[in-house]
Every structure is written in structure tokens, then in C-alpha cells.
Amino acid sequence: MERYDVDLYGTDYRHEICENYFREIRDHLKDKPSRFHLVEEDFAIDNTVVDSKLEGLKRKIVEVASQQQYWGEEIPARWLPLEQVLMNLRAQGHKVIHRSLLENMNQAGVQISTDELDLFLRFQHEIGTILYFSTELLKEKIVLEPQWMINALKSLITVEEMFVLRHAPSVSTMWHEFRNGKLYLELIDALWTKDRNPDLHDNKDHLLLLMEQLNIIAKPTLCIDDESEIKELNYFFAPCMLHVEPPRE
């Protein structure tokens, strides 16, 4: 008896699924700033076969990339060894490095000034290869993998409730507070331990400063005695966790 594989989803039906999916995405983003980054075309790629639409997607990526302000700009040739240094450190598994490490390597190779090194790092940040801010609090460290910072936040959001329940009741309480937008430092310490997340543990302070810089979290302050004294509180607001608008009082 011969066996036939039956495609339950015909071409038209699969096309309809894709259209609905893209429509939902665009509808979800219609009131968000990220909508300005959408292109007109949608590409539904079947990764189980050699899909002819893949070439169209590649052409669109090049087309969009060529419209970026830095496309075609010349960069100093002396920056190339530093780019290679960043790539090598990333390949070795480094997530965060001190700026001084790059300065020392720079002195041993092609020498550039402190100001030009800062320009190089800001350029790398602009094209998305690193996270670097030249502010007083952040300029001493360089995040080699921007996705790592997102993973750090994800490690807080997606932590299993059973893991939280194994800790003291106060940790469980703070975890539920976080689900409503209030992130306590004690909860971060409980989740980013040396054993569980050594990279996050060692770079906790810098990660929190980065999240503040990117407006992912915000540190509230309390004014005392007619604003003559300002006290920092031991938690952050995490707007991304709010499901409803907080009360205004």
C-alpha cells in the first residue's frame, strides 16, 4: 500500500496565515515609535526549503542598510585593529571589558588619542556592535554583546516561580511586586548570584546603570522636609512590567 503525505495547509491558506500574522504585528506597533522602523514589504520565509523569497529579503536588507546615515562613510584605517580586538574579545566569551583594557591594547598597537578612542567606541555603539556611553558613570566599561543586557533583564522577567519560592518569603513577595513594576535590589541580588549568574553578579551595578540610561528602569527618589532632603529608595520602577497605568497619586 502506497503512502502519501498530505499537506493540510494549502498555499492559499498558508498565505492567509502569514497575512494575518503580519497584520497583527503592524497593528500592535501602530502606536509605538518602533513603527517608523517598519518597511512596506513583508517577507514570509519557509526555512524548510530553498525559498526563492530569501533573495528578495537579502536585497531589501541591503537596500535599507544603504539608506543609513553611516553607509558609505569612510572610517580611519587605524580603527581596524581595534575592531579586531573587540571581535577577538567577544569570541573569547567576554561580555564586559574595562575601557582601560582597550586603552592598553591601543598603546601596544596603532596609537590613537583618548578623544579618538571615545569617538571609535561611540561609532561602534551607533552601529550596534557594542553598548557604550561616554557619561561619567558609564564610560569606564564596554558591553561587547548588547543582547547580553537584554538577556539580563529577561533573566528577571522569565525566572521560574518555583525558583523564587525556594527563597525566603520576602523574595517571593518582591518577585510579585516586580510583576507590578517595582524591582527591588534584594530581588536582583537573590537572582544574580555568583553561582547562578556570575557575569551578571560581577557587573550588576553597571547593568543597572545601563538600564537606567536606556529608560528600562528608573530610580525613584523621595523628597523630605519640603524637598530640602532627597532620599533614594531601594527599588526601581520597571515600566515594561506594568500591565495597567499606575495610579497618579
Measured CA angle at 110 (ends 104, 111), to 5 deg: 65
Residue (of 203, 220, 227) closest to 96 by Cα position:
203
Q: Give whichever of 46-60, 72-86, 92-106 has the largest mean pLDDT.
A: 92-106
Mean pLDDT, residues 19-23 taken together: 86
Which pairs with CB-CB distance under 8 Å and at least 24 residues apart come from 171-179? 177/235, 178/238, 178/241, 179/241
The confidence score (pLDDT) of residue 248 equals 57
Is there a contact between 145 and 86 (Cβ–Cβ < 8 Å)?
no
Whether the pLDDT of residue 44 is over 90: the answer is: no
Mean pLDDT, residues 65-75 taken together: 73
The C-alpha atoms of residue 128 and residue 125 are separated, in whole angstroms, by: 5
pTM as predicted = 0.66
- The domain locations on the chain are 11-65, 77-144, 148-241
Domain 77-144, CATH among 3.40.50.300, 1.10.150.530, 1.10.10.10, 1.20.120.420 = 1.10.10.10
Per residue in 221-244, pLDDT tens? Answer: 776 666 666 667 788 988 888 766
